[in-house]
Amino acid sequence: MFEQVLNPAGTLWLTVSLALAPLVVLLFLLAVLRITAWLAAILSGAMAILLGILVWHAPLAGTFESYLYGGLTGAWVIDWITFWGLILFNTLVLTGEFDRFKDWLIHHATADIRIQTILLGWAFGALLEGLVGFGYPWAVVVPILVGLGIADLEAIRVAALANNAPVSFGALGAPILGLAAVTGLPAYSLSASIGNIVALLALLPPWILIFLVSGKEGTLEAWPLAIVGSVSYVLGQWPVAHFLGPYLPDVSGALVSFWVLFLFVKLWRPKTIRGFGGAALQAKPLEPSKAKQWSSPRYAFTVWIPFIAFVLIVVAWTGPWSPLPAISLLKLSVSATSAVTHQAVPSAFNFNPLSGGTSILVSWLAILSILRPGARTVAGVFLRTFKQMWGALLVAFFIFALAYIFAYTGMANSLAYGFSKIGLFFVVLAPVLGWIGVALSGSNTSTNAMFGPVQAVAGTLLKLPALLLPSFNSVGAEVGKPIAPQTASVGVSTSKYVRSEGEVIRHNMSWTLVMLAYLVLIDLFFYYLFPHSMAL
């Protein structure tokens, strides 16, 4: 078995520089040259292979095996989930069910911009992030907010900041499943530790959202909305993250938040109805026929039934009580001896055909049986989905192939060894590294693949709780999403700011830095007061 070398260049700074080179090249290609992500991942992977063989003296056959197993893991663990998640979403769109759902939401959000923002930007946006991710919450929510009177640029910022807390569990848990794959840490343990962090992170955004759309006076009037919106999301997200795993915390958090807010505003509303900017408004009467239809419990059930079916099937399929995800038909692995722990480090691919992605496929089939779309509509769903995400499907394969090479050859250990020389200050840098990674790569999943192994090994060297640094890497990445160019390019696609991502990113930057500073405080809170919650 190949034994890794910790300092092959003989000088630590040179070894660290060489280990960083593939990641720096990847981020340079993405952020500066704006090369498409899948091609950038291929080029960076080729560089990592050459460095691993020539500098770290990794065996040729083992290196290519590791690359292949990493790519297969990315395709199965990530693509199989996100593809069927988007298929499900596009099915609702092309059958018209999603428009019916949106109209029902807008009707029940009332005329107050603060209630609209919390119900639609916060709760509904989290539901979209939990199902699809990839910037689609922005793309869907922004035109709704603009239609409700929020200026375009502000609507984008509101949608982006509302999307902060859900990203780590977005796209049906794909970022966490990816982080588990590249670090070897249990996915359920990571789900719980990240759930702890997100529970605190989620307390802040609703206050910011209400302030952005109504100002200081509007916030002082509507402070109960911020408390109910944040606490209800946590009540739906935290137990699921702890006891059911990474697939549904966003979905459950969004649904609980929405329905708690829905009932709350039936009992309490701000005395003054305010529009965007805090201007006082008069309520407009709704057409009686539509008011009667949208207020009907039966109609509400029909617009919610696809989501109810989806949640029930995925929970039953993927929960701790289910043996289905553990069934394996094929396991492929190549190992190296770690230069840090001196234990075997496997680069493994596990083909478990009844995984979480398969549960989403089954739920889609159940929804088809309810909606009964025609063959042409179903064909349109597949065509639309492939057009939207063929590049993302390739990215998952090649970015995980790169991550596996990084771990197998020993480059991740060498980089972590260099970072560990910073000392315990690296605890503060962990979320910042995730923030930088997603700001440049555009993907929480990709950031976890790139930096997850480094964070995990650095934590081992610094004798930190095993889950601390990888978890904050992931949540740091979610905080950086509002300034990620690739996310912004999707998010602005339905606004006036198409191809003006730079202006959007600059507009989002200040509040993103506020969220990052808050996350660093949460990081220190867990490190000093509750380190056991980050231990295995």
pLDDT digits (tens, 9 = 90+) for 22-37: 988 887 887 778 788 7
Give residue-wise pLDDT tens across range 134-157.
667 777 788 888 878 888 888 889
CA distance 168 to 164: 9
Residue 493 in this model has a pLDDT that exceeds 70: no
pLDDT band at 168 (very low <50, low <70, confident <90, very high): confident
What's the pLDDT score for residue 290? 60
Tokens 């701790």, residue located:
320
Q: Give the residue-averaged pLDDT of 381-405.
A: 87
Give residue-wise pLDDT tens across range 397-417.
998 899 899 889 999 899 889
Distance of CA 83 to the CA centre of its chain: 15
Percent of the chain with pLDDT over 90: 48
Average of per-residue pLDDT values in the chain = 88
Q: Give the residue-averaged pLDDT of 195-214.
A: 95
Nearest CA-CA partner of 175 in 455, 166, 310: 166
pTM beyond 0.75, yes or no: yes
Q: What is the dihedral of CA 488, 493, 499, 501, to 10 degrees?
A: -20
DSSP bridge partners of 335: 346
Residue 289 in this model has a pLDDT that exceeds 70: no
Dihedral sign (CA 307, 296, 136, 118): negative
Strand ranges in 274-367 using DSSP code E only, listed in sequence order: 330-337, 344-351
CA distance 166 to 127: 9
pLDDT band at 279 (very low <50, low <70, confident <90, very high): confident
CA contacts within 13 A on the Cβ side of 491: 37
Q: Give the residue-averaged pLDDT of 306-321.
A: 87
What's the pLDDT score for residue 271? 86
Q: How is residue 84 written in tokens?
A: 């069927």
Give residue-wise pLDDT tens across range 69-110.
999 998 998 889 888 888 888 899 899 998 888 788 777 777
What's the pLDDT score for residue 285? 57
What's the pLDDT score for residue 96? 92
What's the pLDDT score for residue 266? 87
- Residue bearing the bigger pLDDT, 140 or 55: 55
Residue 286 in this model has a pLDDT that exceeds 60: no
Query: Reduced to 3 states, what is the DSSP secondary structure of residue 346?
Result: strand
Task: Give the number of residues written for the chain.
Answer: 536
DSSP 8-class letter at 117: I
Q: Where are the alpha helices (DSSP H) in 95-124?
A: 97-108, 113-116
Find the range with the poorest average confidence among 223-237, 255-269, 286-300, 334-348: 286-300
- Residue bearing the bigger pLDDT, 276 or 470: 470
CB 135 within 8 A of CB 490: yes
